[in-house]
Structure 1
Amino acid sequence: MVVVLEEAIRFDVATALTKGERDFQEDSLIASFPQGQETGFAVLADGMGGHMSGDVASALVMSEVFSRIKMNEMLLDKRITDVSGILFETASAANDRITQYIEQEPASYGMGATLLATVIRGDELYWVSVGDSPLFLFRDGALTQLNQDHSMAPQIDMMVKMGAMAEEVGRDHPDRNTLTSAIAGRKIAKIDCPDAPTAVRAGDIIIAATDGLQFLSNDAIAAILEETHTKRSNDISSALLAALDDLADPDQDNTAFTVIKLGKSTLMKRPSAEHTNEPVFFRHSSALNRKSPALEAVPDTAAPMTSDAETNVAQDPIDIPTKRVIRLVTSQALDFDKPSTPAPASAPTEQTKPQASGSWYRRLRTSQD
């Protein structure tokens, strides 16, 4: 059998979870980047609903998506797999899971969550995103948000830019955090799930986060990454958490994020689809190096790192004050190996993808009695 040597990106990964100034924790996250593999993924969800089970919603969404990606993990190692199709279906499955829970527990009506799931396969980055949880790429000193923001913030910022609203009014506008799409058991208004992957390479730092991280400005996040990009992912995570603490913002939201640092690649063997007499050597085939529009202006040079790590982390139980009216359901309490419904047999078609609607979901950001 002919063997092809392929350069596989290695991962240095750290996760972080903090309650901030909230009375309870509504964020959930998990990451799986097995050592020696070219594929890894991370899932997070930001619950909404306050005392109406936002913590339960985020755990349900996170676990449903995790189980489905995990079930397809072997397929994700094959270049022919429709990764974006799998990710798209996970969002629909998570929404169905919320619907089922609300039917069983009518008092939980109004609960929901954002979703951000990322898959890295070699030099390809895929994601599915619903809501306002940001996906950042830091490359060559520049910070770029890759996914769409399904909240009113972009519209408000546009009004400020056009002069229709004062900057200070837009910054503190009460509707900034109003979601235009969420996993809430009803029709999903918007799903951001690009068909083509975004190219990544050694030296890149990827951050998948809930919007609590955005209490720091993009400039502040970029400055921290510029200062710490040569360090390990756990050092980067600690620096971000310290910066949030330094803000001492009395309204600081729950924050969860995964830092993925792409390190120096190593040559790995895989079977060749072509019958040749000699091994073929290549470094990130250009056919697989498709670039998303968000990265067209990003330079294609970066110093490789030499980092390597494996993590599979879920949120720890949080002590909940007595004012909470429903117990916390953490990721440990859920069965990750069994999705609630059978896995989809095929990728979605354009006819099955949800269309945008005018429905808005308001996140309950303050504690409620």
Structure 2
Amino acid sequence: MGGPASGEIAAQMAISNFEEIQDIDHGKELDFLKEQFLKSDKRILQTANQNPDIEAMGTTLIAVFIKNQKAYWSHVGDSRLFLLRKTRLKQITKDQTFARFLFNEGEITKEQIPTHYSQYILDQCIGHGDCEPETGSFLLKKNDFLILSTDGLHKVLDQKKMKDLLSFDVSIKTKTEKLFQKVLEVKGNDDISVIILHVL
């Protein structure tokens, strides 16, 4: 957000809070993740306020912490966490967009969200000082795959196409490459970030 350069700065600042994490006290995983999000939000806002060239910068953010076969997650914006279990691909997070806000207010139906003009207008982001991270957790099973992605992926590929590409019995590297290749074939340009984790 705020242009490619500003968005890159905001993204790097947001993830820097997580680089040195080795462990989190049991029972405090979600609180810890939320705290890191709020710290990133405040830090990015302060930096932006000190530099007019990047005053509009912000970023979406999703983080997953895995401990004892359990995934703890937190997110802000419209980056997504998916769980691929056997042949089922499930979206874990809910996009923090204006379309979802309208749905929650009863203004539009669930079926209208994917085609509504505001489906890609962010209701929340990191860097504007008032983010509201959403959190959750779930148990993992052997051979689960976790997919973390920015909207550059899921704006182009629907879940069926994603599932088909992810279901190939190939390495994680190849799965990721297949997703990137298909996005580039369809659209050709967007910022795309994808992380795939395999539970052994």
Tell me the TM-score normalized by structure 2: 0.87
Counterpart AA for 1:125? A
Deviation at 1:257, TM superposition (A): 0.9
1:217 aligned residue: 158
1:338 aligned residue: none
Deviation at 1:100, TM superposition (A): 2.0
CA distance in 1, matches of 2:47, 2:110: 42
From 7, 10, 14, give the equivalent of 1:57: 10
2:184 aligned residue: 245
Q: Deviations 1:147-187 (Å, cap 9, x if unpaired)?
A: 1210134467883656xx6x9xx63x442211111112321
Identity across matched positions, percent:
25
CA distance in 2, matches of 1:183, 1:120: 22
CA distance in 2, matches of 1:113, 1:242: 24
Change in 2 beyond 3 A, CA 1:259/1:52 = closer
Counterpart AA for 2:2? G
Matched pairs, number: 196
1:187 aligned residue: 130
- Is the 8 Å Cα contact of residues 129 and 193 (structure 1) preserved in structure 2? yes
| Higher helix fraction (1 or 2) | 2
From 157, 178, 191, give the equivalent of 1:254: 191
Classify the secondary structure of the residue corresponding to 2:65: strand
Deviation at 1:238, TM superposition (A): 1.3
1:159 aligns with 2:108: yes
- Is the 8 Å Cα contact of residues 156 and 176 (structure 1) preserved in structure 2? no
1:56-135 matches, within 5 Å, as 56-64=9-17, 66-67=18-19, 70-71=20-21, 73=22, 75-76=23-24, 80-135=26-81
Classify the secondary structure of the residue corresponding to 1:179: coil
Change in 2 beyond 3 A, CA 1:81/1:155 = closer
Q: Deviations 1:273-312 (Å, cap 9, x if unpaired)?
A: xxxxxxxxxxxxxxxxxxxxxxxxxxxxxxxxxxxxxxxx
CA distance in 1, matches of 2:90, 2:120: 20
Deviation at 1:245, TM superposition (A): 2.2
1:200 aligned residue: 140
2:120 aligned residue: 177
Change in 2 beyond 3 A, CA 1:246/1:119 = same
Deviation at 1:108, TM superposition (A): 1.7
Classify the secondary structure of the residue corresponding to 2:135: coil
CA distance in 2, matches of 1:225, 1:52: 31
Structure 2: any 5+ residue segments left out of the alignment? none
Classify the secondary structure of the residue corresponding to 2:37: helix
From 156, 164, 170, give the equivalent of 1:231: 170
CA distance in 2, matches of 1:60, 1:107: 16
Runs of 4 or more consecutive aligned structure 1 residues displaced over 6 Å after TM superposition: none
Change in 2 beyond 3 A, CA 1:161/1:114 = closer
- Is the 8 Å Cα contact of residues 52 and 107 (structure 1) preserved in structure 2? no
- Is the 8 Å Cα contact of residues 52 and 110 (structure 1) preserved in structure 2? no
> How well do the aligned residues superpose, as a CA RMSD in angstroms?
2.3
Deviation at 1:133, TM superposition (A): 0.2
